[in-house]
Amino acid sequence: MKTSRTTIALCSLAMTTAAWLGIAPAAHAQKFPTQPIKLIVGASPGGTTDALARELAEDMSKSLGQPVIIDNKPGAGGNIAADFVARAPADGHTLLVAFTSHTMNAALFKKLPYDPVKDFTPISLIGKVASVLVARPDLPAKDLKELLAAAKQKDGYSFAIGGTGSSLQMDTAEFRSTSKLPGVDIPYKGSSPALVDVMSGQVDLMFAPIGGARTLLDSGKVKAYAVTSAKRLASMPDVPAVSEVVPSFTTNYGWFGVLGPARLPAEVTARLNEVVVKAIQSPRIKTRLAVDGSAPSGTTPTEFRDFLIGDVKQWAEQAKLAKIEPQ
């Protein structure tokens, strides 16, 4: 039986289409990236997040074969940067180096221009960052147990709050609630001026970023009582976790991670995840994270999404505890 030219043509078209469909995702992944990648950072140059982003950009550029450029867009607690990325083309060339405020802001603002989970494609968590409870150097208590016991003999302690609406304020509220520690909170515009007053003895205590307090701790200008991580940190083995003394204290973390706009192609997401996870295992970035009391926490996109969902819920609960009203 003879085969018609029409049948042959249709079969050829079907085979070509099938082959094209089969290689299209692979071809797309091989083409990515086709231009420089922007890492949007919702913080000013020179800070902890910016420094980490620059280390990350250098390693990502080597793996991807394209420049990875830092674009700082500080302001509104990271909202400006996050909104910019949420509106960017979903092609993987514009990414957000997000930090704790990304999930916390849902509890601090009545209306955000984006959803912190639905409007983003999770790439990977970079690391979780604990804070440390520090005190003026002449505070008599030798450890956390003694500190809590001494508080019962007086009217409590003064706590410097290194930024209203920050994770440090959340840490303070939960610690004072779970430990039943009396005292007064003194708000500051940031952790640096708060640390200055603790160091000089103007304020008794504060929860501080480990990276920001490291030099003062090493020089003995402030003393450490506890960290907010689930267990002791390798970089501070003599400092207990708060939960060792106050079991009802919920482990609190700051964090860093990489997000893209919603609906990134799966193959692009997978490639970016591979590159980011590889980068954060580099000795240079491990050292950077260790300074801040952290360690690499590379995750799958799904694991990071689950983390974001849980973190939004936790900060909402913490905001209620701290009696912070959305603005």
Q: Burial code of 218-236, b = ≥16 C-beta within 10 A, e = fewer?
A: eeebbbbbbbbbeebbebb
Structure token digits, residue 301 = 């996109």
CA dist., res. 9 & res. 270, Å (int): 37
C-alpha distances in Å from residue 95, one per residue of 12, 37, 61, 90: 41, 8, 13, 10
Cβ distance 227 to 130 under 8 Å? yes
Q: Which helix (H) or strand (E) holds 317?
A: helix 301-321
Q: Find the helix packing angle between 101-108 and 79-86, rounded to 10°.
A: 100
- What's the pLDDT at 154? 76
Per residue of the chain (327 residues), what is the pLDDT tens digit? 444 444 444 444 444 444 444 444 444 445 899 999 999 999 888 878 888 999 999 999 999 999 999 999 998 889 999 999 999 999 999 999 999 989 999 998 989 999 999 999 999 999 988 899 999 999 999 999 999 998 877 778 999 998 776 788 889 988 998 998 888 999 988 888 999 999 999 999 999 989 889 899 999 999 999 999 888 988 899 999 999 999 999 877 789 999 999 999 999 999 999 999 999 999 989 888 888 778 788 999 999 999 999 999 988 988 887 777 887
- What's the pLDDT at 30? 56
For the purposes of burial, counting CB atoms within 10 Å of the CB of 186, is it exposed (0-12), middle (13-18) or buried (19 or more)?
middle
- What's the pLDDT at 3? 46
- What's the pLDDT at 14? 45
> Got the DSSP string for 41-64?
ESS-TTSHHHHHHHHHHHHHHHHH
Q: Which residues, at least 6 apart from 325, have a Cβ–Cβ distance to it below 8 Å?
A: none
Selection from 39, 124, 18 nearest residue 81 by Cα:
39
Specify the DSSP class assigned to residue 164: T
* Cα pseudo-dihedral 138, 141, 142, 147, rounded to 10: -130
Specify the DSSP class assigned to residue 93: S
Selection from 26, 91, 116, 24 nearest residue 269 by Cα:
91
> Got the DSSP string for 259-286?
EEETT--HHHHHHHHHHHHHHTTSHHHH
Q: Model pTM? A: 0.79
- What's the pLDDT at 318? 81
Is the Cα torsion angle 226, 228, 229, 233 positive or negative in sign? negative
Question: Domains in the chain, ordered, with CATH?
Answer: 35-129+254-321 (3.40.190.150), 131-245 (3.40.190.10)
